[in-house]
Amino acid sequence: MLLLLLWRHRRGDFIFISIVYSLINIVQNPSHSSEGFCVFNSLIMRNVNVDFGKLPSKHKANDFAGQVFEYLFPSVTDVPLEHFRDSQKRIIEANLLQLLRPVESKLPALVEDIAAKFFVELENVFDRLVADARFFVESDPAADCIEEVIVAYPGFYAISVFRVAHILYDLKVPILPRLLTEHAHTQTGIDIHPGATIGVPFFIDHGTGIVVGQTTLIGNRVKLYQGVTLGALAVRKEAQGQKRHPTIEDNVIIYAGSCILGGDTTVGNDSVIGGNVWLTESVLPYSIVYTQTDTRIRDKSEMREVIDYVI
């Protein structure tokens, strides 16, 4: 399998033969494995068009997401809140500059200017997130207070990281926005592309399995439940740059397991999409969309067939 993979990605027979020779040498001469792996690694790097060594650090991006969240919503501090925010801002700024340096040549402005604009927008994001958190309390009977939402709700954390990543996405920063939202994806099971446009406030209940695609447009006061997919009808590379994902207008509720697909699909305002709905066409405002199933309830005494079994 490895040889076939290398053959498919070769740059001529010489590279392929050199790679195979290096692998054989490693196997036959374990004492020279370190040197062999260096040769092997060098050959692989030459055969892949990736600028290794000049990528943003995934681990630092994960730390950055947590630092920004702590800056916006501090937990326990031993110093006055104002002093904590000042010191935390300096840490975040230094880490952001480190994360931007590897992609500096691809940025539309100097890294210092990008960082400055980021902090300006971060204040606006804070106001949006407070509105989101209040909407959580308003929407979820199990939420006792806004503090509980901020520190305990995975949906709120996913939205927070998305809104931070979206700032960098709008500033044309490559790679880093996706690293941030994938961190939230790993932590919460909620996959929101940083390019999505999401209004305020926004509510995610439970959240596990939610997918929101890159060109999705979501209005204000929208509620999503676990397992919802806002996706594309088909995955085709030539559709890059086109609107591939649906538009969800204001005050829409989408219940668990529903799948809404296509860039031309619009869910009109104040509509309700029931659970497990498959939707690929637009619906008018104030619609109720549901899947009707034949669920039967019988008395156990009426059932003659054996339904108890042991695995």
Higher pLDDT, 54 or 251: 251
CATH topology of domain 209-292: UDP N-Acetylglucosamine Acyltransferase; domain 1 (2.160.10)
- Burial tier of 256 (Cβ tally within 10 Å: 0-12, 13-18, 19+): middle
242 and 215 in contact (C-beta within 8 Å)?
yes
Tell the residue number behind the tokens 């869910």, with chain if given: 267
Question: In terms of CATH architecture, what is 55-184?
Answer: Orthogonal Bundle (1.10)
Whole-angstrom CA distances from 111 to 164, 167, 180, 195, 250 are: 17, 14, 18, 20, 36
Whole-angstrom CA distances from 121 to 64, 128, 200, 271 are: 16, 11, 15, 32
Higher pLDDT, 125 or 25: 125
Rounded Cα distance between 207 and 162, Å, is 14
The lowest-confidence range among 10-24, 251-265, 284-298 is: 10-24
Mean per-residue pLDDT for 122-134? 97
Q: What is the pLDDT of residue 298?
A: 77
Secondary structure of residue 242 in the 3-state scheme: coil
pTM of the model: 0.81
For 92-110, the pLDDT digits (tens) are 999 999 999 999 999 999 9
